[in-house]
Amino acid sequence: METFWGLSGVAWTAIYSILTLGLLAVAVVASLYAKAQWNVARQQREDARTAQIEASRPYVIVTIEASEASQVLFDLVVKNIGVRPALNVTISLDPAPQRANESSGHEIAKIKMLNEPVSMIAPGQEMRTFYDSRIERNGVDGLPSEHKVSLSYFDSSQRKYTDVSTLDIEALQGIMYASTKTLHDIGKSLDEIQKTLKSASLLQRRGAVKVEASIETREMRLQREEEEQREQDERHHRIMEQFGFGDQKPSPTEVDASAALHEDATDQAASDNAQAEPDDCAENFGGDLPHRV
């Protein structure tokens, strides 16, 4: 029997068969690996496409948010947080919402956006309505504490979206919050100021109102007080001379009596002057005398 490198033909045939099986096994492994890589690439393409669709789609949500007027009040809010407009939006809440104290003809379950499709909600747009007060709902039985929300809408490419979620009204029950001043509080303050101004007797008068105001330093104030005190002393001195006290120091009773007589004379003179000029002043100021504040 002929041999090659010391091996017979049968031996070489066996070696060829083994090598062939090995190559076949490598080919199978390579094909499986290639298929796995292809599946990964396809999944990545699908994920990228889905992410692109999600990033460019309309996204309508329904939430419960605290009212801007007060933290004890809450609103039902429908908003589009996506980047494309949502068309033909249908909103369904199960069970139907209900307030603790419903107003006849204005029940929350009968509002239009919960009973008829909304033609369009633009990106960033929200539709808000007052839901209820947490204080009024406290201890009231029969009111829903959560809703199953079903949404259906289309984008501008007529692709349909359907979302289902749960709206928990009592999710924020028991929370604490800090009281903050908002534009609503500023509006309330302005209303109070308006009421005060309307009820002010001074502003209800006809004619002109003259207001005098001054700003003085501490030195100016001290100087003014010294001048006023000096004028008061001179006035008392004149009163004492008028009633014959001269340099004699009067008793406190005499000084008070003299001062009272002087004040009565001054008031009488002012009254006479006021009675002599009312017609001219009324004519100049539209019927009422000016007031100095």
- Answer yes or no: do 120 and 16 share one domain: no
Q: Could you tell me the pLDDT band of residue 252, with boundaries at 50, 70 and 90?
A: low
Question: Of 15, 40, 55, which residue sits at a domain end?
Answer: 55
Nearest CA-CA partner of 258 in 281, 237, 277, 279: 237
The CATH number of whichever domain residue 102 belongs to comes to 2.60.40
Half-sphere exposure of 8 (CA within 13 A, CB side): 3
Does residue 153 sit within a domain?
Answer: yes
Residue 114 lies in a domain: yes
Q: Is residue 146 domain-shared with residue 109, that is, in the same domain?
A: yes
Amino acid at 33: Y
pLDDT at 52 over 70: yes
* Domain edge (last residue) among 172, 201, 232: 172
pLDDT of residue 59: 94
Helix/strand/coil for 72: coil
CB-count burial class (<10 Å; 0-12, 13-18, 19+) for 117: middle
Res 81: pLDDT: 94
Residues 137 and 236 in one domain: no
| Residues spanned by the domain of 146 | 60-172
Are 151 and 165 within one domain? yes
Asked if 26 and 99 sit in the same domain, the reply is no
Residue with tokens 């003299």: 258
| Domain end call among 16, 33, 55 | 55
Distance separating the N- and C-terminal Cα atoms of the chain: 140
Rounded to an integer, the average pLDDT of 146-153 is 95
In a domain, 179, yes or no: no
Residues 259 and 223 in one domain: yes
**In a shared domain, residues 39 and 128:** no
| Domain assignment of residue 193, yes or no | no
Averaged confidence pLDDT in the chain:
79
Number of folded domains that form the chain:
3
Whether residues 220 and 265 share a domain: the answer is: yes
Per-residue pLDDT, 243: 72
* 195 assigned to some structural domain: no
Residue 192, domain member (yes or no): no
Instruction: Give the pLDDT score at 107.
Output: 92
Better pLDDT: 50 or 164? 164
Angle CA 30–36–37, to nearest 5: 90
Integer Cα distance of 194 and 207 in angstroms? 21
Residue 44 resides in a domain: yes
Residue 131 burial by CB count (10 A; 0-12/13-18/19+): exposed, middle or buried? Answer: buried
User: Under a CB-based contact definition with an 8 Å cutoff, are residues 117 and 88 in contact?
Assistant: yes
